[in-house]
Amino acid sequence: MLDKRQTIIISIGFICLLVSLVPATKAWEDWRLSERGKSAPNQLRMSDLADQGPGDNIHVKLVDFQFGKDYVVQRINGQWAGVYVPIYPRGTITDGKQRPPTPKVIIKTGGLKSQQDVDSFENCSTLTGVVTNSIDGGNFDRSEFKKKYPDLKPSAVWVVDVGRSFPTKGTFQMHLGISGALALIAVVSVVVCLVLPSTNDPLKGGSGPGAEQVIAKRN
């Protein structure tokens, strides 16, 4: 049975192990993305990305596009956490009453917190970001977009995260190092618990009430 000290140590180790999964996931994402792109963005027309994909560089700078109006807001505790905006080749939508076609490219951003932010964002003439399909498989709000575009296939949509910097070797090593250090702390905590005598075990030199009773009986 674990005593109070051992419980605290093992709890710290367990927490460190859980927390280590966050930088480990970041490191995995960094590796996946860095293998598919370059530090310098490749300038692409919106129509080229929609029809041909990003090619051998998922770090892109988009030009010649227009925004759709049916954007989706992801909320956490009522606050704006992310916004997904469909974009189209310039000239696709010429009439405000025209029903927009099913999008082939969706912009993801976490920097917009209000309708005013969205209005300002839609004045952008270029967008630089990372195509993240290789790590999230088009993981945007499918249910909301399916309501607006019933024939939408998430796997056929390119998602460009304009809030994500292209990962470098340094960021990959940093995330991997943090994850490794936290995992090491978790392992050390288990080892310490195994070798540390329990104060609840009188046969291992404990000093609790049970130990006193054994000593009294021996006398």
Which string of DSSP letters, residue by residue, matches 138-191? S-S-HHHHHHH-TT--GGG-EEEETT-PPP-HHHHHHHHHHHHHHHHHHHHHHH
What pLDDT, on the 0 to 100 scale, is given for residue 190?
Answer: 86
Answer yes or no: is 33 within a domain: no
What distance in Å separates the CA atoms of residue 144 and residue 86, rounded to the nearest whole number?
Answer: 12
Out of 70-74, 172-176, 177-181, 213-217, which region has the weakest mean confidence (pLDDT)?
Answer: 213-217
Q: Is the dihedral of CA 174, 23, 176, 192 positive or negative?
A: positive
- Total domains present in the chain: 2
Out of 9-18, 32-41, 200-209, which region has the weakest mean confidence (pLDDT)?
Answer: 200-209
Answer yes or no: is 31 within a domain: no
Global pTM value: 0.76
Average pLDDT over residues 68-85: 87
What pLDDT, on the 0 to 100 scale, is given for residue 43?
Answer: 96
Average pLDDT over residues 161-174: 87
Average pLDDT over residues 187-204: 75
Average pLDDT over residues 160-168: 88
Query: Hey, is 60 helix, strand or coil?
Result: strand
Residue with tokens 């469909």: 86
- Same domain, yes or no, for 151 and 64? yes
Statement: residue 13 has pLDDT above 60: yes
What pLDDT, on the 0 to 100 scale, is given for residue 47?
Answer: 94
- Same domain, yes or no, for 139 and 214? no
Residue 5: burial class (beta carbons within 10 Å; 0-12, 13-18, 19+): middle
* Predicted confidence (pLDDT) per residue in 112-152, tens digit: 899 999 999 999 999 999 999 888 755 566 677 878 888 88
What pLDDT, on the 0 to 100 scale, is given for residue 16?
Answer: 93
Which two tokens mark 139?
Answer: 């993981």
- Same domain, yes or no, for 160 and 175? no
What pLDDT, on the 0 to 100 scale, is given for residue 209?
Answer: 52
State the residue range of the domain holding 190.
4-22+171-218
Q: Quick one: pLDDT band at residue 81, thresholds 50, 70, 90?
A: confident
- Same domain, yes or no, for 96 and 202? no
Average pLDDT over residues 81-99: 84
